[in-house]
Amino acid sequence: MLYVEDLMELSSSISSAGVLTKWMDPKNNTYIKTSAYNNETKEYHVEAVMECLASDIGRLIGVSVVDYWLDELDMGDSEILVCVSEDYKMKTPYRDKISVSSYLVSRGLEGAVRSDRYRSLVAEFPEIRESLDRLIVFDYLIDNYDRHMRNVELLSLGDGSVRLAPLFDNGSSLLADWVTEQDLADLEESEELFEEHIIHAETQSKCFAHDHRSELMLVDKSVFRNINLSITDEEWEQVTWKYAPYLSPLRLKMIYRLVTTRYSNLLRFAAK
């Protein structure tokens, strides 16, 4: 159990589902994040759970991600479910860091065509291309709709090389933007919606293209040498249903259909 009086509030942001709040625990060097809070329904959404599930999926496929786990936070008048992560910088020796957003601004590229952002990064730092490609594959798989450049960081190491930081803030994904049970039912029942949003991945991406399908076309297929391409349906079921205590059966079912469909797409793409 965590206690809000022990934490330092960092920020609040508004999503389509409500207000998300972040804290830091200075004593334990951890970060705490809520799900979105809807002031009308007085309910929290699912982003905290999605953050943990996305972290599990990242490790399963072989992507460097920050570890997240669930805990409860005592707010004084109520207890809420939150996700917690360690500060990756405590475990990763580096000389300096900069967000990709800040890097692009420093190069006058903040307004560049999205694919040109990718090409600029790869040209400047060829050693990070595989990590960038893994990010794209990961976001395609989990349907991350809020991977903005501020939560992708470049680390300068002591030897002068540059690497991509472990991926964090992955919770705006895995159909969290389908807020209600009716939204999910519509997605399940509409062949047109399912094809557009699940199969064809014509869904919002923010980094290097406007949709995940187009973004995936940027990657060098050599990235798949270090992506786990032998995950079984049973393994996908295990990683998804681990969160059954926190998610509705319909949401679990649709998340499972999302990741298994997108994973099958990735297998076919890698084999071409």
Residues 208-234: what's their mean pLDDT?
97
Find the distance separating the first CA and the last CA of the chain, reported in whole Å: 49
- Report the mean per-residue pLDDT for the chain: 94
Cα separation, 155 vs 191, in Å, equals 43
pLDDT in tens, 38-95: 888 878 899 999 999 999 999 999 999 999 999 999 999 899 999 999 988 887 788 8
* Residue with more model confidence, 37 or 225: 225
- pTM for this one? 0.95
In this prediction, residue 160 has a pLDDT band, given cuts at 50, 70 and 90, of confident
200, 198, 191: which is closest to 269 by C-alpha?
200
| Lowest-pLDDT range of 35-44, 55-64, 120-129, 251-260 | 35-44
Do the first three CATH levels of 2-89 and 95-271 match, i.e. the same topology?
A: no
Structurally, at CATH architecture level, domain 95-271 sits in Orthogonal Bundle (1.10)
Q: Is the pLDDT of residue 191 over 90?
A: yes
Q: Residue 17: what pLDDT?
A: 64
Cα torsion 58, 130, 177, 182 to 10°: value is: -70
Cα separation, 218 vs 139, in Å, equals 13
Q: Is the pLDDT of residue 37 over 90?
A: no
Q: Residue 90: what pLDDT?
A: 80
Question: Could you give the C-alpha distances from 120 to 103, 125, 210, 259, in angstroms and in order?
Answer: 10, 8, 17, 30
Looking at 3.30.200, 3.50.50, 1.10.287, 1.20.1440, the CATH number of the domain 2-89 comes to 3.30.200
Q: Exposed, middle or buried by CB within 10 Å (0-12, 13-18, 19+), for 132?
A: buried
Q: Residue 71: what pLDDT?
A: 97
Domain regions of the chain by residue span:
2-89, 95-271
Cα separation, 50 vs 123, in Å, equals 33
- 103: tokens are 């890097």
Residues 3-9: what's their mean pLDDT?
95
Q: Residue 16: what pLDDT?
A: 60
* Residue with more model confidence, 61 or 16: 61
* Residue with more model confidence, 195 or 110: 195
